[in-house]
Amino acid sequence: MNTAKLQYQLKKLKDYLALKTEMVNHQGIIREVASGVERSWIYYLMLLMAGLIALLGLLTNSVAVVIGAMLISPLMGPIISSGLALTIGDLTLARRAFRTIAFSVGLTILVTAFVTLLSPLKEPTSEILARVRPNIYDLFVAMLSGIVGAVALCTKRNYLITATGVAVATAVIPPLSVAGYGLGTGQIMLGLGGFLLFFTNFVAIVLTSDLVFFIMGFRTSHGETIQYSQKKRLLMIGGLLVLISIPLVYTLVVDIQKVNTKKRIERVLKKHLNQEDRSRMTGYTFKPVEGRMDVRATVNTTQYLAGPSEQAIENELSEGLDKPVDLHLEQLLVASAALPDRQEHGLLDGAKSAAREDTAIEISTKASSMAARAEQQLAAALHPFPVTGVRLGFAPRRQPLLVTAVLQRDWPVSDDELLLLARQLERTLEQPLTLQLEMQPLLPPITVAEDGSLSAESTAALELIKRLPGGPQGYRFRIEGGGRNGRAEGAALKRHLTETLQVPESLVTVQQKSRGKQNTVALVLQVVRPTP
């Protein structure tokens, strides 16, 4: 009974489609689509203008300008033509369409790359970054847009309005401008991401429009030239589908892994940091760094979380992610009205207490605790640069607390950085203060053996270079040698930096110490940031 009913419904659908396909002017549509493949100076002018307008919109982060470029682009014509050519098996039309598309893509990328080189604006904007990592949803959008565009072309129902919407939805020109931007700025992976988005849209539109044209009654009999056999057309379509599926499946798997990682991290952090009437997590970020996961979280808390609590969170995250985790907590002390009276912790402004005065031992304990908290806060903010020797200097009433510390870094702390660190410490210690940092070299003198190998202590100390924020590419490495073997030892250290620690050779310089320092035979390595 059910089978008969299903067959009846399928017959009704087949009759309905047959009725609709009779209303389609197949030869007229083929001629119209074939005309969209014609290459002329007007076509290339519109293409280049669309690419440049899209590039300017991306560089200025203007959504309206990018949308305008989508509407101007004539690239949808050859793409739809290639879909129809696959349906009717027209070899000549397919060659013309794919040749036009290939030349258009290459020309757009090269011109936008050249303009990017000349442009003073080169920073990646949010509009650019939104088009460098396509996923399965971009494929779905392109497929649905291809269906709508082909149906509108065949039926002529609201074709102009629908074609405009399809041009905006598929957005084939902005990804090419992103690819040119990546090439022009030397960010090859970013450019490949933009090209992958274009390729995703292109293949999805071709495949779905091919399906619609077939349903609308287009067959090989409508072709006017030598045709592909049905087997060849199926192989071409299948090959394109495989090509587009490989990167998208990979992207999908990576995105799913990232979502699962995010859920695991969020679950563990909320479990430990969201404690009623005590603490609440306000945000977190994570990123993999050289086989480890770097997790940074901010939390509002009424009581400072001690080191063992952080270690417990870090251990649980490591178990859940199956990789080492570096956890950095930024804690902001707040007062909660739901808590009992916390005057003793100094959280209420203007609080007065008639309690006895603290003893010398209690004062010393509180001072040590404050110093430890200050050192932990500075160490987290300046990681991976070591912070030691934190001391507190208590001044007379109404004068700020003096906090001094030793920072091992080879370039000074800027005024803005010092002010930001002081503000963070004020939130942690809950009182105004002045921060002074004494600078010391980041690395101890490097020891090189007679055979040219580095000592175990020096090798271990140099491992810090792997943890430099942003990687070693953003720093300069100055090697200063002395004594008779200064040059050889400097070369050995440079070789260790470039081969073992993957430091670009162009960032490493070796020089001899001045004559007045020749009696000092220690090998010194300075890690500095280049002057902006």
CB 501 within 8 A of CB 472: yes
Same domain (yes/no): 429, 463: no
Same domain (yes/no): 431, 471: no
For residue 226, which phi and psi values (nearest 5 degrees)? -60, 135
Is there a domain that residue 274 lies in?
no
- Pairwise CA distance, residues 269 & 305, whole Å: 13
Is there a domain that residue 271 lies in?
no
| Token pair 């905006």 in the structure block, residue | 168
Same domain (yes/no): 414, 502: no
DSSP state of 303: S
We report the CATH number of the domain holding residue 212 as 1.20.1080
CA 66, 67, 71, 74 torsion-angle sign: positive
Query: Checking phi first, is residue 145 left (phi over 0); if not, alpha (psi -120 to 50) or beta?
Result: alpha
Q: At what angle do helices 41-59 and 63-72 cross, to 10 degrees?
A: 170
In this predicted model, what pLDDT tens digit does every residue of 307-322 receive, in sequence order? 677 788 888 888 888 8
Q: Is 68 exposed, middle or buried (0-12, 13-18, 19+ CB in 10 A)?
A: middle
Is there a domain that residue 276 lies in?
no
We report the CATH number of the domain holding residue 460 as 3.30.1330.60
Q: Looking at per-residue confidence, does 350 or 18 come out higher?
A: 18
In this predicted model, what pLDDT tens digit does every residue of 227-273 receive, in sequence order? 555 566 656 666 766 776 677 777 778 778 888 888 888 888 888 88
Which of 393, 415, 440 lies at the terminal end of a domain, its last residue? 440
Residue type, 25: N
Same domain (yes/no): 52, 122: yes
pLDDT of residue 114: 94
Same domain (yes/no): 121, 150: yes
Is there a domain that residue 144 lies in?
yes
Is there a domain that residue 406 lies in?
yes
Is there a domain that residue 515 lies in?
yes
Reported as a pLDDT band with limits 50, 70 and 90, residue 19 is low
pLDDT at 355 over 70: no
| Token pair 């603490």 in the structure block, residue | 279
- Find, among 228, 274, 290, the residue nearest to 90 by Cα: 228
Which of 407, 440, 473 lies at the terminal end of a domain, its last residue? 440
Structure tokens, 460: 């271990």
Share of the chain above pLDDT 70, in %: 76
Is there a domain that residue 401 lies in?
yes
Structure tokens, 434: 């002045």
Average confidence (pLDDT) over 167-195: 87
Is there a domain that residue 63 lies in?
yes
Q: What contacts 436, CB < 8 A, 6 or more positions away?
A: 402, 403, 404, 405
DSSP one-letter string for 450-508: TTSPBPHHHHHHHGGGGGSTT-GGG-EEEEEE-STTHHHHHHHHHHIIIIIS---GGGE
For the whole prediction, is pTM greater than 0.75? no
- By residue range, what is the domain housing residue 410? 369-440
pLDDT of residue 339: 43
- Pairwise CA distance, residues 514 & 523, whole Å: 13
Same domain (yes/no): 148, 212: yes
Same domain (yes/no): 387, 469: no
We report the CATH number of the domain holding residue 396 as 3.30.70
Same domain (yes/no): 386, 504: no
In this predicted model, what pLDDT tens digit does every residue of 55-110 receive, in sequence order? 999 999 888 898 888 888 888 888 888 888 877 777 788 888 888 999 999 999 99
Which of 198, 228, 258 lies at the terminal end of a domain, its last residue? 228
DSSP one-letter string for 386-411: -EEEEEEEPPSTTSPEEEEEEEE-SS
Same domain (yes/no): 507, 402: no
- Pairwise CA distance, residues 514 & 39, whole Å: 68
Structure tokens, 376: 């932990």
pLDDT of residue 116: 93
Same domain (yes/no): 166, 205: yes
Helix, strand or coil, per DSSP, at residue 274? coil
CB 101 within 8 A of CB 73: no
- Pairwise CA distance, residues 157 & 211, whole Å: 19
CA angle at 256 for the pair 298 and 191, rounded to the nearest 5°? 90
Q: Which residues pair with 289 in a beta bridge?
A: 292
Same domain (yes/no): 221, 126: yes
Same domain (yes/no): 190, 43: yes
DSSP state of 90: B
Provide the number of structural domains found in the chain. 3
